[in-house]
Amino acid sequence: MSDEKNPTVETSNEEYGSSNITVLEGLEAVRKRPGMYIGDVHDGSALHHLVWEVIDNSVDEHLAGHCSEVSIVINHDGSVSVSDNGRGIPVGMHDKGISAVEVVMTVLHAGGKFDHSSYKVSAGLHGVGVSAVNAVSEWLKVEVQREGYVHRQSFARGVPQERLHQDEETSATGTKISFKPDPEIFSSTEYSYKTFATQLRELALLNSGLKIHLADEREEGTSETFLYEGGIKEFVAQISAAKEPIHEEVIAFETSIPFGEGMADVVVDLAIQWCSSFAEQIFCYTNNVHNKDGGTHLTGLKTALTRTLNSYGQASGLLKNEKIALSGDDCREGVVCVIHVKHPDASFDSQTKSKLVSSEVKGIVDTAVTEHVGRYFEEHPQTAKKIIEKSLVAAKAREAARKAREVVRKGVMDKTALTGKLADCQSKDPTISEIYIVEGDSAGGSAKQGRDRHFQAILPLRGKILNVERARLDRMLASDAVATLISALGCGITEKGTFDLSKVRYHKIILMTDADVDGSHIRTLLLTFFYRQMPELLEKGYLYIAQPPLFGVRKGKKIRYIKDQMNLNEFLIENGIDGLNVKSSSGMELSGQPLYHLAGRLRTVDDHLNRLDRRCDRRIIAAAVRDVGIRMETFDNPESVEEAKDKLRDVLVAKYPDLQPLTVETESDEVDGLHLAVQFRPGATTKPGRLTREICSTGEYFELVSIEDDIDSIGTTPYTLTPNKGDVVEVDNATELDDYISERGRRGLDIGRYKGLGEMNADQLWETTMNPDARTLLKVEVNDPVRAEELFSILMGDQVEPRRKFIEDNALNVQNLDI
């Protein structure tokens, strides 16, 4: 027999032995396999999970009664700082021969209160603690206030750069951890403010008394504070205030029910209030996680409410002479409710935990709600009577709407409902079909002519549709525009259970309105309709907003369409710096991409100054940034403030002799500490003249400082401007450079603004807005359902005061005002 081996099998002379076994020391395992510890490093989930690992320690301190405030700051460089006023990480020496802080930061699963084993319930986090955050961070700095001193230590990619050292004295306690995610680990290190805001709001909601401050120090300079002293009861009260509650007190209870031997109890926490509105809003949570699709706790709640209201109505005689029974929808009309179940062994339908499927929870919630709401009704008969009467009105309206609802049930086969309105497409395949909901007959005509008939349908709507936030079903279906829209889509509506997603005729529903105030209003009314009556379309990603161009720029025979003012500015800058060379008197030259970057930043100076002008006169801001060099740190001590005061007075007097500032004072108060107060002569200006550390810490002020640094980097003035065509020009400062580039960018161009879609020809509308190969569509998504509910109630509801307050609170932040 031949000893020849199988030629298809490759062999190796290397042996597999003990030397092939690799031992990953310390945090090296986390860096080698980050997905095992923190999740997917490519889709952004792991990136944001780092912050939750740090925040969890602060929440744990709060639950233990030692922490009342947590602050999360997204810093200018993309790093994040999380600080709290808890007890602080222990700073004493550990048995390992290093400080307890270093142990916590460098050893997986180390610590007492710092790991996740102390939680009675778990949201399903990985539970590896802040040491995993340290491992995947380019750098991490920890600052502990404890035992009368501030203690600091820094790390790089998990490796200590120094030992924990004791610095200045302090009477405060707490921990601050700052870190920057390592770009070697993550595909993107760009944090989403909205993601933080959504989850932190829920965290504050579910942890009463915990004050959470979120700030974004990047370009926008946004910040919010979340605090619910009364927990979910206060939250429900806030939402209801924008809707006019029919009973003053929020019905709330928290109860514990035994789950099993050796297991923690199941806790049911509920707050509910009935309002005069018609929409039902129920937020479901399990173990601090939002369940957007509800689950067994929602089923138990609905069953209990229907039975309790009918039982009490019959027993009290309120329903004795009524011929109709209250349905579940009748009982829940106008309800605002939050239910939070804390379960030691919860089961969900998927990894996203969008739906609770623990079967025992249905009975637990049913029993708890029946007992506590029933007892509340017995103890508060006047409140119970108002709720029963509200449900009775809903039941009678349901009967009155039965005939109107037939319009919905007839669906798209009812040609009489759509004649002359819907220009349908030829395709019957919803996956490729799309419908444009267009404002007005004029735009509808252009859209019908310009479309691709095979897969594009057009539905023109005349005027503004009904605001469904303020209308019950019978009135809504009586609206011709709403009925036509429902019939055209073919899937029915969520209210009263007629919605069927499988029957929707188009998988792209595109709102196409004019780029003016009326167009925005119509779009908002349509969004309100879809959010309230067909929310599943948003969840499936079927709803879009068209992005027609606002400008047409013509040069000779060529025309270029531009989406909005920001894109127009970018185009004009690009055109203005084309072939231009800038040389400073010190010899530095600038052209191409570096010049484009500088010109773009110069163009934003006015925007930043205008935003800050509402808080402090823009002339003071400009002088503080450019001439005096006032920064956030200036306000750290009285000496630097006094020095800045003298310089600022001299600059203002020299620059604005007509204003003649009377005084520039150093003042202080308990809230802001030291600040500068500039007072001009009477009548010279009505703008505020109070420059504080808070203003100097805003994103706008930081950007102005950064732009000033860019200007300084190109050398001293004057600048010599040499275009590829034309005369050489000399300018004295950056403002004149900006003016020159702006004027040069517009030279030879004819810029037209489209006020409405009807101004476009059919071929223009197709080319810019409807051609799938060239158009841009904006997908409508609900990333923060709690905030969305609040805003729809405030802005579209029938209560004036919440809307007035919203306008007053946000007036200084408005950027585009059409008067």
Residues serving a catalytic function are 439, 514, 516, 518
Taking residue 649's Cβ as centre, other Cβ atoms within 10 Å add up to 19
Phi, psi of 551 (to 5 degrees): -130, 150
Structure tokens at 328: 């579940």
- Residue showing tokens 């539970």: 127
- Rg of the chain on CA atoms, in Å: 32
Report the residue count for the chain: 819
Structure tokens at 150: 């501030």
Closest CA relative to residue 150, chosen from 138, 131, 130, 165: 165
- Please provide the distance, in angstroms rounded to a whole number, between the alpha carbons at the two ends of the chain: 98
State which amino acid sits at residue 50: L
The Cα–Cα gap between 182 and 184 comes to 5
Give Cβ neighbours of residue 118 (< 8 Å, ≥ 6 apart): 60, 112
The Cα–Cα gap between 438 and 442 comes to 9
**DSSP readout, 220-256?**
T--EEEE--TTTHHHHHHHHHHTT-BSSSSPEEEEEE
Give Cβ neighbours of residue 379 (< 8 Å, ≥ 6 apart): none
Cα 657 to Cα 251, 458, 652, 684, distances in angstroms: 64, 62, 8, 11
State which amino acid sits at residue 752: G
The Cα–Cα gap between 703 and 605 comes to 8
- Any long-range contacts for 158-162 (C-beta under 8 Å, 24+ apart)? 158/26, 158/27, 158/28, 158/30, 158/31, 158/106, 158/131, 158/134, 160/102, 160/105, 160/106
Give Cβ neighbours of residue 522 (< 8 Å, ≥ 6 apart): 439, 461, 464, 465, 513
State which amino acid sits at residue 515: A
The Cα–Cα gap between 700 and 604 comes to 10
Structure tokens at 292: 């957007």
The Cα–Cα gap between 394 and 305 comes to 15
